[in-house]
Copies of this chain bind each other. A is one copy, B any other.
Amino acid sequence: MVLPLRLIPRVAAAARLPRAPLPISRRAPLVPALAMAYSTGSGADRRLLFRQLFEKESSTYTYLLADVADPNKPAVLIDPVDRTVDRDLNLINELGLKLVYAMNTHVHADHVTGTGLIKTKLPGVKSVISRASGAKADHFVDHGDKIHFGNLFLEVRATPGHTAGCVTYITGDADSQPSPRMAFTGDALIIRACGRTDFQGGSADLLYQSVHSQIFTLPKDTLLYPAHDYKGFTVSTVEEEVAYNARLTKDKETFKTIMDNLNLPYPKMIDAAVPANMVCGIQDPPPKI
């Protein structure tokens, strides 16, 4: 178990729920000595293995990051979806990684998180969400926390506005960390757009402030990876969004007017997804046999 430096483990309510571990079938992973080769990064910095995964029904991106230079190859999964948990865990197994944290950027309203299911299938994995979300999890994070896996870490920034508890996870600001930095923005910032602000403690005012103070102030070459994309984009940069985001480049009052007039339909999954996601996606885990 890789212990985070500044993330203090807490026994959360969800951790006390009975669990029925269902080990996934494990094929022999690749020879560990070769796993350095999996990074998608160019150049010398190949410590980070990075994979972007897509769930088509809800257009959700799940992100896998691992320190493949660490002998244990500790990994984190950001915003896993329940429907694609088997795909994700199978990939993690094939790559010879050790999943440490299953994390959410926020309490999703459009799909059920995979974190609870992952915990039943891979005991030892800890779920992570912001304290401000009000949801259950093994670890709660606050603005400024760092989440360590091997010699890599993610910085937590509070970016409320889509929901009251939204955070953005950003790769560390240090020479030893990936360059350019990578920010996993959840629904706070979507490529050329942003998440809606009319549910779950949402606030257009707060979202505007969050993005401008916490995301647009990152280095211009920071790669932005959202929780969703509906047009087939996979990545953007701070510089691009500062120049071309259709909503967030406006002044705050114009932005608020845009958000107040989106006239979006009631989210079709919200009544099922939000209660489930408040408890890691599994409300009634099967009893231990």
List residues of chain A with CB under 8 Å of any chain B CB: 27, 30, 34, 37-46, 48, 51-56, 59, 62, 84, 87, 91, 94-95, 178-180, 220-221, 223, 231-235, 237, 239-240, 243-244
Contact = CB atoms under 8 A, between A and B. Distances in A.
Contact of A234 (B38, B43, B44, B54): B54
A34 B234 CA distance: 20
6 contacts: A37-B239, A38-B240, A40-B235, A41-B41, A42-B179, A54-B232
Given A41-B41, A94-B240, 11 more contacts: A30-B243, A34-B220, A37-B180, A38-B239, A39-B42, A42-B42, A51-B234, A52-B235, A55-B232, A87-B232, A95-B240
Contacts of A220: 34, 37
Contacts of A59: 56
Q: In the assembly, how many copies of this chain are there?
A: 2
A254 B244 CA distance: 51
A232 B114 CA distance: 15
A53 B234 contact: yes
A17 to B, nearest CB: 29
B53 A56 contact: no
Nearest to A36: B221
Q: Which 7 A-B pairs have the closest CB atoms?
A: A43-B43, A41-B42, A37-B221, A54-B232, A43-B45, A42-B45, A43-B44
A187 B232 CA distance: 19
A85 to B, nearest CB: 12
Contacts of A44: 43-44
Contacts of A234: 51-54, 234
Nearest to A44: B43
Nearest to A220: B37
Contact of A43 (B179, B232, B233, B237): B179
A186 to B, nearest CB: 18
A11 to B, nearest CB: 34
A179 to B, nearest CB: 6
B221 A38 contact: yes
Contact of A94 (B84, B87, B244): B244
A225 to B, nearest CB: 10
